[in-house]
Chains A and B, each alone.
Chain A
Amino acid sequence: MNNSEKLINSFSEALGIDASTVSDSLEYQSIPEWDSISHMILISQIEEDFEVSIDTDDVIDMSSVAKAKEILSKYYIVF
């Protein structure tokens, strides 16, 4: 599984949505499943799946799948 697939999996697991609905354009609160609580679940899931510790400011900034990739690249995760 490459990192893009891994990230799709993290979103799918954390938000409880089908992997086919996860795309770069998916944004926070654009679907009912991605609310404030599931955002925190998502952050924990990404931290676990990618074995990183996400900075506090990045938690707030991670407002879309595309943004998640951008932020994870700071932690040397290549997409």
Chain B
Amino acid sequence: MKVTIPNIKISSIAACLPQSEVDLESFFDLYGKEETEKIISVTGIKKVRYVSGDEISSDLCLQAAEYLISMTNTERESIDGVVFVSQTRDYIIPATSPSLQHRLNLSKDLVAFDVPYGCTGYVYGLFLSSMLISSGSCKKVLLLAGDVNSKTINKMDRSLTMVFGDAGTASIVEHSTDESIYFNIKTDGSGYDRLIIPAGGYRNPSTQATQEVTERENKNFRSDEDLYMDGMSVFNFAITEVPTIIKESLADNHLEVGDVSLYALHQANELMLKYINKKLKADRSKVPFCASEIGNTGPASIPLMLSTNYAETTEDLSKSILCGFGVGLTWGTALLSLNDTKIFKPIIYNNQV
């Protein structure tokens, strides 16, 4: 699916990180010093951020949103759409986005959607937000994207524990007189089981057996209610499909690889970005990796990267490509200008609020 939606922009972005920082060297006892150091050197992830208390994705997104609303002097009444992108929502029923409307004290004249996507989620959420505005349904959409991955993984599954982190973000998407966003989104559901929590939903309801932690492939331990990732398949998928969709997106817009100001790729891990860029052949400085002290934060990773690296930047971001890829399997790009986007540095979650 490809479309260019006219008169749309991301006007502002903020992010919220959990307080707790976990140095991955603390896993020496669990996985062994040598193995742990090797994993750190390959993924480029030295520390991850985990929520430490009862806080979950909507709490992190809520604080990012409050901060964004305050910093941009946005009238709450002017927000008439909420899109909440997360795989770690408050409840199975109801959706979380209505409660965020209430908790943020937003207008009742508002449409609210949950989008249960992971690493492609920000592109999906941006697409949905843009559609709401383009159709005339909304004037200003609050796009919230975050996950508490630490609650979905088993600490004895080193393939995930050493990579994933938690974060929440907030962006405001609204009408623009002169900007547009090109989207290119693809879906291949045959890979639904490459990244999956197999049980606890309605296909395989929770039972005592699905909660049992057992040894799985390659000395990893987890239950069927923990996240599983077929690492090699996901790696193959990413390094094959991501360069292809980016090149396709460039061709559609009559751009060369070198014309792009910023490749804001999902921050999976440093190695993944390295091999994607080996195919893309972009200037390495334009394909930043900034999750070395945060971890892979799923749908939050693209706005969090922008918040971490490009807050109040004077760099030209007029041709920025956002690219998400992962669970589903899904992948997608958004080509847009971020020159007029107010980007704020990440804040740390305040559990006293």
Chain A positions within 8 Å of B, measured between CB atoms, are 14, 16, 28-29, 32-33, 35-41, 44, 53, 55-56, 59-60
Contact = CB atoms under 8 A, between A and B. Distances in A.
A60 B232 CA distance: 8
21 contacts: A29-B217, A32-B218, A33-B218, A35-B217, A35-B218, A35-B231, A36-B159, A37-B39, A37-B42, A37-B162, A38-B38, A40-B42, A40-B43, A40-B235, A53-B278, A56-B243, A56-B278, A59-B239, A59-B275, A60-B236, A60-B240
B271 interface: yes
Q: Which of B34, B42, B235, B239 has the most CB of A within 10 A?
A: B42
A14 B38 contact: yes
A37 B279 contact: no
A39 B275 CA distance: 14
Contacts of A16: 34-35
A58 to B, nearest CB: 10
B219 interface: yes
A41 B39 contact: yes
Contacts of B232: 28, 36, 39
A14 B38 CA distance: 8
Nearest to A45: B38
A41 B42 contact: yes
B219 A56 contact: no
Contact of B278 (A28, A29, A40, A55): A55
Contacts of A28: 232
B158 interface: yes
A32 B278 contact: no
Interface in B42-74: 42-43
B239 A44 contact: no
Interface string B257-281: 0000000000000010001101100
Given A37-B231, A44-B41, A55-B278, A60 B35 contact: no
Contacts of A36: 159, 230-232, 235
Contacts of A53: 278
Nearest to B217: A35
B42 A56 contact: no
A56 B38 contact: no
Given A16-B35, A36-B232, A44 B275 contact: no
Interface in B147-205: 158-159, 162
B196 to A, nearest CB: 16
A14 B39 CA distance: 10
B34 to A, nearest CB: 7
Contacts of B162: 37
A8 B32 CA distance: 23
Contacts of B35: 16
A29 B233 CA distance: 13
A32 B35 CA distance: 13
Given A36-B232, A59-B239, A59-B275, A44 B42 contact: yes
Interface string B215-246: 00111000000000011100110011001000
Across the A-B interface, the 5 shortest Cβ-Cβ residue pairs: A36-B231, A35-B218, A36-B232, A56-B275, A40-B42
B39 A56 contact: no
Q: Which of B162, B219, B235 has the most CB of A within 10 A?
A: B235
Given A32-B218, A41-B39, A56-B239, 18 more contacts: A14-B38, A16-B35, A28-B232, A35-B159, A35-B218, A36-B230, A37-B158, A37-B162, A40-B235, A41-B38, A41-B42, A44-B41, A44-B42, A56-B275, A56-B276, A56-B278, A59-B275, A60-B240
Contact of B279 (A29, A40, A56): A56
A22 B230 CA distance: 25
Contacts of A14: 38
Contacts of A59: 235, 239, 275
A60 B241 CA distance: 13
Contacts of A29: 217-218
